[in-house]
């Protein structure tokens, strides 16, 4: 039977296809908020947010440009005049937006939101010229290759970082006082040896391009000597971009020079935070960007633990070790809140195969002692990080540590689980609603077992030995109570408080 309408339908389909292609071409380019103007771009570029969209491999990709801070990847889908964007801040931190394209305007809203849409428009020619100044010219990066291990961090690094509590309110005296407190509290002897100065120490470059510390840190060599004299190690922070996350000088274009400066100061640990590098590079270029600094560090002949910080984007666990990383962030920033900490921690299960001695998944720093979670929640925090073989980097004010905070952070059995020489992270073996059971194999055929209650009411949690991968009978140590329990046979069962944990070490009997 002949189709009299087929020709019409084919023609109509061709017209629709042409319209959609035209629409895709229309959305490519720069977009700015409706109320942005040339004067703002010239005088206050740090207050401008720019959406840049371009065609790539037959599709569309985007980037949210936040001047002096970051270029955040944006997934772009378009169907006619309908647009869907997903801002990919970090692993587990995606923000979807839906919108409509009309001529030179784009309206965007969060799905289900009742707030007015965010309106964007095309910039003028004058504004485009100003926007082009937001990011410097892209410098070349090395061809990607696999660096051999540097022999450091055979167990997850332990120490302290300034960011969670102090952020940029830091100086030489604060660091020395923290060093003294790490010794006095026994935290140093428990393994917390790295003292990491995060963002906020940077000054300007001298006439030769050498990066100097700001006036709050008048003598980095002297500070390093003080830490080393107390059995501690110095960690520093910089960015592969032109600016750090807090707007200080970054290492862009000065990688080799800054690596030599850090080595001369006596630095033992370097955190390399993506930040404004996203203004210049795409996520696909991350491995080579980090490799460039790793090679610069190796060239100094000073051993430095290399911490890759790019929020778990671009599947960093698949290439972090090859790029010279001893640890790599797998998430967005942690916060001293149960919902944030637990969401981050319990999402790490699938990444376990990528960690091993010398190379660790990093779900971010500890919040223990910052006083916005309960004691039960902090025990869960520590237990989960130990099961994950995560770096234990304290983030509270060590100078005013409460005794219970010190006790949580220095529990020997918890630290022994985290630092177990097998280096095999734990995995989830049971999940029943908010109740989870995780296990981690330990040296000496022992097994760490954690019964987690993520719910808001007390609950009985049970796991069979078959689920735990244990045969026969097993003796048990209650890690937090620091006492031996009766021999278990066939299963483990316990009542667990809300947001709490029972952490055991089982040994076949």
DSSP 90-148: ETTEEEEEEEEEETTEEEEE-TT--SPPEEEEPPPHHHHHHHTTSSPPPPP-PPP-PPP
Domain 158-418 fold is TIM Barrel (3.20.20)
Q: Give the CA dihedral 401, 389, 275, 337, nearest 10 degrees.
A: -50
List, as one string, the DSSP characters of 184-210.
HTTHHHHT--EEE--TT-EEEE-TT--
Flag whether pLDDT at 11 surpasses 50: no
Sign of CA pseudo-dihedral 110, 115, 121, 123 = negative
Spatial separation of the C-alpha atoms in residues 136 and 370, rounded to whole Å: 38
Find tokens 């734990």 and name the residue.
Answer: 426
In a 3-state reduction of DSSP, which class is residue 264? helix
Q: Which residues pair with 205 in a beta bridge?
A: 211
- Decide: 412 and 187 in contact? Cβ < 8 Å: no
Q: Which two tokens stand for residue 139?
A: 């410098």
Indicate which residue of 81, 180, 225, 333 is catalytic.
333
In a 3-state reduction of DSSP, which class is residue 428? strand
pLDDT confidence of residue 67:
60
Length of the chain: 509
pLDDT confidence of residue 177:
98
Q: Which two tokens stand for residue 4?
A: 């009299």
Give residue 9's pLDDT band: very low, low, confident or very high (50, 70, 90): very low
User: Is 199 considered catalytic here?
Assistant: no
Average pLDDT, the chain: 91
- Bridge-based pairing of strands 305-309 and 269-273 is parallel
Percent of the chain with pLDDT over 90: 76
Domain 6-131 fold is Lipocalin (2.40.128)
- The domain limits of the chain are 6-131, 158-418, 427-508
Percent of the chain with pLDDT over 70: 94
Which residues 6+ apart lie within 8 Å of 472 measured at CB? Answer: 465, 489, 508, 509
pLDDT confidence of residue 4:
38
pLDDT confidence of residue 152:
98
- Decide: 270 and 304 in contact? Cβ < 8 Å: yes
Give residue 452's pLDDT band: very low, low, confident or very high (50, 70, 90): very high
- Decide: 290 and 325 in contact? Cβ < 8 Å: yes
Look at residues 213, 273, 267 and name the one whose alpha carbon lies nearest to residue 240.
273
Domain 427-508 fold is Immunoglobulin-like (2.60.40)
pLDDT, tens only, 283-319:
999 999 999 999 999 999 999 999 999 999 999 999 9
Spatial separation of the C-alpha atoms in residues 271 and 385, rounded to whole Å: 19
Main-chain dihedrals φ then ψ at residue 479, nearest 5 degrees:
-65, -45
Spatial separation of the C-alpha atoms in residues 355 and 325, rounded to whole Å: 11
Residue ranges in 346-459 assigned as alpha helix (H): 375-387, 403-409, 412-418
Q: Which two tokens stand for residue 382?
A: 């520590």
Indicate which residue of 198, 199, 258, 273 is catalytic.
273
Look at residues 378, 414, 418, 401 and name the one whose alpha carbon lies nearest to residue 185.
401
Q: Which two tokens stand for residue 234?
A: 């110095």
User: Is 258 considered catalytic here?
Assistant: no
Look at residues 211, 207, 213, 175 and name the one whose alpha carbon lies nearest to residue 194.
175
pLDDT, tens only, 226-254:
999 999 999 999 999 999 999 899 999 99
Instruction: Note whether 158-418 and 427-508 share their fold.
Output: no
pLDDT, tens only, 128-173:
888 777 778 899 999 999 999 999 999 999 999 999 999 999 999 9
Spatial separation of the C-alpha atoms in residues 91 and 98, rounded to whole Å: 20
Spatial separation of the C-alpha atoms in residues 346 and 380, rounded to whole Å: 11
Mean pLDDT of 363-391: 98
Strand (E) or helix (H) holding 182 = helix 172-184
Find how far residue 155's CA is from the centre of its chain: 19
Which residues 6+ apart lie within 8 Å of 232 measured at CB? Answer: 179, 182, 183, 188, 193, 194, 195
Spatial separation of the C-alpha atoms in residues 164 and 365, rounded to whole Å: 8
């Amino acid at each position: 039977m002949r189709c009299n309408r087929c020709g019409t339908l084919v023609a109509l389909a061709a017209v629709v296809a042409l319209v959609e292609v035209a629409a895709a071409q229309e959305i490519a380019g720069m977009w700015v908020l409706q109320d942005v103007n040339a004067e703002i771009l010239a005088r206050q570029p740090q207050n401008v947010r720019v959406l840049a969209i371009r065609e790539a491999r037959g599709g569309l990709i985007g980037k949210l440009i936040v001047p002096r801070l970051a270029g955040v990847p944006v997934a772009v889908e378009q169907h006619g005049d309908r647009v869907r964007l997903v801002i990919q801040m970090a692993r587990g931190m995606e923000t979807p937006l839906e919108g409509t394209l009309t001529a030179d305007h784009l309206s965007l809203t969060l799905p289900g939101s009742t707030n007015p849409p965010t309106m964007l428009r095309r910039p003028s020619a004058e504004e485009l010229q100003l926007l082009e100044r937001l990011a410097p010219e892209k410098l070349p990066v090395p061809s990607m290759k696999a660096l051999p291990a540097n022999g450091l961090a055979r167990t997850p690094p332990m120490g302290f970082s300034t960011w969670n509590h102090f952020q940029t309110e830091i100086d030489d005296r604060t660091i020395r006082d923290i060093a003294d407190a790490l010794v006095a509290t026994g935290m140093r002897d428990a393994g917390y040896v790295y003292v990491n100065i995060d963002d906020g120490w940077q000054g300007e470059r001298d006439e030769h391009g050498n990066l100097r510390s700001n006036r709050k840190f008048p003598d980095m060599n002297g500070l390093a000597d003080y830490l080393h004299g107390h059995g501690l190690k110095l960690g520093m922070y910089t960015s592969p971009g032109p600016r750090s996350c807090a707007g200080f000088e970054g290492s862009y274009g000065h990688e080799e020079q800054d690596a030599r400066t850090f080595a001369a100061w006596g630095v033992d640990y370097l955190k390399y935070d993506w930040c404004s590098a996203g203004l210049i590079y795409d996520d696909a270029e991350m491995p080579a960007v980090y490799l460039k600094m790793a090679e610069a560090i190796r060239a100094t002949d000073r051993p430095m633990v290399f911490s890759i910080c790019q929020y778990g984007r671009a599947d960093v666990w698949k290439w972090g070790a090859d790029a010279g990383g001893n640890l790599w962030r797998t998430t967005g920033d942690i916060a001293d809140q149960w919902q944030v900490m637990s969401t981050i921690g319990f999402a790490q299960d699938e990444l376990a195969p990528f960690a091993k001695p010398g190379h660790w998944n990093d779900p971010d720093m500890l919040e223990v002692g910052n006083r916005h979670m309960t004691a039960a929640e902090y025990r869960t925090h520590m237990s989960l990080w130990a099961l994950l073989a995560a770096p234990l980097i304290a983030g509270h004010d060590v100078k005013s540590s409460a005794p219970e905070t010190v006790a949580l952070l220095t529990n020997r059995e918890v630290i022994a689980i985290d630092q177990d020489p097998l280096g095999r992270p734990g995995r989830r073996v049971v999940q029943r609603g908010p109740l989870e059971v995780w296990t981690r194999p330990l040296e000496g055929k022992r097994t760490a077992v954690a019964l987690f209650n993520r719910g808001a009411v007390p609950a009985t949690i049970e796991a069979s030995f078959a689920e735990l991968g244990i045969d026969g009978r097993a003796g048990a140590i209650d890690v937090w109570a620091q006492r031996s329990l009766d021999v278990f046979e066939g299963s483990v069962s316990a009542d667990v408080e809300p947001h709490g944990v029972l952490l055991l070490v089982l040994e076949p009997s």
